[in-house]
Structure 1
Amino acid sequence: MSSHKRRATLFPEERYDDPVDDDDGEWEKTVQAPVKRLEFERKRVEAELTNQKRIIILQANPSTRSHCRFWDCVPRKFNGEPNIRSAFRFNLKDLSARYYEPNKYYHVSCMEQIFPDLSALVQRGVLKMEGGVTQLTIASWQTSRFHTAVEDWFNYEGRTFEVEIYDRFQRDHSRWRRETSTLEINHQLESHEGSSQDCEKCGEVPNEPLRNDYFPEEPRSSLLSEVLASVTGVTQLDRVDEDLGAPRSKKPRRE
């Protein structure tokens, strides 16, 4: 007697879960939803900061060859290319020399989308600015510094003063140094007695400009991109609201 195998019947409420299909479906949701894409990007960078011991470094941008890694890079949406053309960039840098790709670059404004509160990263010690003393040759060294407004943004953890205030104070203080230096030199050349501060022949010594006379008592909270834009003299650092065909941002001012 021949046996007959009964064909299995799948009822409508029965289904089989395919984990691969589930993963693909979840990934599709992430790709299509801007909020999920941003959350994915934030978790990825956080993982690199934590597990790979990377650090985010603010750098002056020496060329336009570095590419932004942000998934939803706004400048790329405007001009179709990921090149960072602004005067500054962020580098998600590996300091351990363990990884093949030590540098991962981002627009400053793109990193502000990933982490809306960059000051929290400064407090954690994972966001720093590049700078310091660099040895060029055996006998020469170079000191690299950002504008004081940028340095204060890091020192005050997301707060600083208006760039124009720094520039005005620096300009007046430089003029005072020149005037007092000239007065002191003339005092010595004329062989006047005593100190130039009390010399009637040299005339009145100008008072030194004091920081307290220029700056408010407390700095204000500011986006780092806004501070950097003010330093470079542009309305928007990464030029997402300007003519992207215009020449690259001018060289940033330093103090």
Structure 2
Amino acid sequence: MRRLVSAGVIAITSLALATPALTSTAAATPGTADTAVVAAKVKAGKFKIKKSAAGVQPGISKLVLTSKGLRGSGKVKYSITGDNGVAFKGKAKVKKGKAKYLVPALGTGHYKVKAKFKGRKGKTKFEVYDSNLTLSTTALTCDISDYKARTSLSGSVKYKGGPATSGYVDVYQNGNAAGGSSSPYLLTFASVNTATGTFDFGTKICDRVITGGTGSALRSGLPAGNYVFQAYYTKDAGYDDYFSSNLISVTVVP
């Protein structure tokens, strides 16, 4: 009886030792089912979205969302919603595993981004800062013959929720600010009062429109007629962080 029990134990032990060997062989050569599981996990996974900056100024389109780690061709679909009630959708084509989406100009608020591509998802968020460039008026009359009849212009700058403590306000014809201070359409500029966040051109806008501005396209002054200008605030001479005012209508009279 003891021998039978011993023989049974030996048989069971041998079987138990043989089982891991079979398991090891199966793991070394994944089958079709294993490949399908891996593919399913990739498809149901997530991808990262990298932002070119944490936020952007209002009315400026320069924030880029880059979706990374994508496989295959097609377009990434973006859904963006803001706490200010704004909601819209966009698409970006995948190239070399990435998709870059340029966010359009938006108003102040906090925005959430959801993206989809071939069953995979990505998400991020960004802020459009609470900044504003306020003008005393958006309609100037510039009298060529009577300087006393020229309209003055002043204003204030809110930068990321508070009064600006540095920087400049530049004025460009038709808002052509490309190139910053080297733009041929730069009319003139004013420094921001570091204590109050205000600025004051006086009648300088009209004076420069008539007698000549800083940029090469405006150095000879402008004749009687109707023109459009726009003011831009920049916190320093680098011009990498800026936003604009409403359009300024300028009427030059003889």
Structure-2-length-normalised TM-score: 0.25
Higher relative contact order (CA 8 A, sep 6+): 1
More strand by share: 2
The structure with the largest helix share of the pair is: 1
Give the alignment's TM-score, normalised by structure 1: 0.25
